[in-house]
Amino acid sequence: MLLSLEDLTVQVPGTARPLLDSVTLTVAEGEVVGLVGESGSGKSTTAKAALGLLPTGADFAGSVRVDGTDVLGLRGEALRAHRADTVAMIHQDPRATLNPVRRIGDFLVERGATKERAVELLAAVGLSDPEQRVRQRPHELSGGMLQRVVIAGALAARPRLLLADEATSALDVTTQAEILAQLRTAREEQGAGLLFITHDLHLAAAYCDRVYVMYAGRVVEERSARALFTTPAHPYTQGLLSCSPTLGDSHPLLPIPGRPPSLSDTFPGCPFAPRCGEAEEECETWLPEPVFLEERGLREDGVPSEGGGMAACRRVVGRRSAGRWGSPRSSEAESGGGWAQRTTAGQPKDKVSHK
């Protein structure tokens, strides 16, 4: 597996609950995996963990592996090489990545491209006049052009794993569509995996192969993009879909009531229970573990589901076997009940300090 997070729990001092709580997530070679959730759900912290970057002073438990390498154990030159060569992150604001006084060509050469390849990379991400662009400085290009430059820079070292954190959110829809297509092409040509972070569940469903939904530092659902869109299993996923508009859909938008929890909020049970229209008394005290969703017949209204996947909700427990997040499905984990009583406010066991 290219990227594998296993039960990653991350806590910083002074917060009541962890930033990440037992996050398990995989990205295979050549796969586009979406990570969605409201602000503060832990998406960026999850992606940064793949770079070996945890908040200063954080305690963590669990593991992060890229191509089999234990990333959180890397130090010094090995960590620098990992960040320079193996993984590349693309942020929302290209101006935060680009040095305003350096030429575009220098930016690409610093990332390992030759001068000829710098021109080729700019052409590959759809910039016109690439020979001229390499001599220009960031203030001479528009925001959409700069984001293309940043993507060219991310591809320069031919990384195995691309992390796109809201990389297209600030762009107009035409530029967004072109950049998404170019990221996909780059992924195909280089065989890289792509972790695609977005607030927009519809975009994730349209663009990704598989999607993880996060809430309050936990993964609450993992499905194929199509299954997530057609038969969302978790009430939170259903809520996200109901409150985001789609073209041609005349249904009224239904916002999820309440607000996402802060790091000072703790929960004896399911973190989503206070906002969940389906919550029952048990949800307030029991934390649902992930369970497998079968190929068909998941939903109570009889609509067939597709593609299996996992969800952590009391509504699907009892009808499904306990499981582990990730892909492919692991048969040895198919036993047990799928419920766990939460005993602490998420204190990681066997924690390690990240200084």
Residue that the structure tokens 């892909």 belong to = 327
Distance CA 324, CA 337 (A): 12
Q: What share of the chain is helix, strand, coil (3-state, %, to 5)?
A: 30, 20, 50
Here the tokens at position 236 are 């939170």
With contacts defined by CB under 6 A, how many residues of the chain interact with ligand ATP? 12
Q: Is 168 in the site for ligand ATP (CB under 6 A)?
A: no
The single residue among 4, 22, 26, 41 that binds ligand ATP, judged by CB under 6 A, is 41
Q: Is 39 in the site for ligand ATP (CB under 6 A)?
A: yes
Q: Applying CB under 6 A, which part among 40-48, 95-103, 246-254, 310-318 lies near ligand ATP?
A: 40-48
Distance CA 84, CA 78 (A): 10
Q: Is 37 in the site for ligand ATP (CB under 6 A)?
A: yes
The single residue among 1, 12, 333, 340 that binds ligand ATP, judged by CB under 6 A, is 12
Q: 313 with 233: CB under 8 angstroms? A: yes
Query: What minimum distance in Å lies between the beta carbon of 40 and ligand ATP?
Result: 4
Nearer to ligand ATP, 113 or 161 (CB): 161
Query: What minimum distance in Å lies between the beta carbon of 43 and ligand ATP?
Result: 4
**Interacting positions 248-267 with ligand ATP (CB under 6 A):** 263
Q: Is 34 in the site for ligand ATP (CB under 6 A)?
A: no
Query: What minimum distance in Å lies between the beta carbon of 57 and ligand ATP?
Result: 8
| Three-state SS annotation for 230-246 | HCCCCHHHHHHHHCCCC
Cis ω before 304 (30° cut-off from 0): no
Q: Is 22 in the site for ligand ATP (CB under 6 A)?
A: no
Distance CA 210, CA 25 (A): 11
Q: 204 with 211: CB under 8 angstroms? A: yes
- The residues that touch ligand ATP, with contacts defined as CB under 6 A, are 12, 19, 37, 39-45, 55, 263
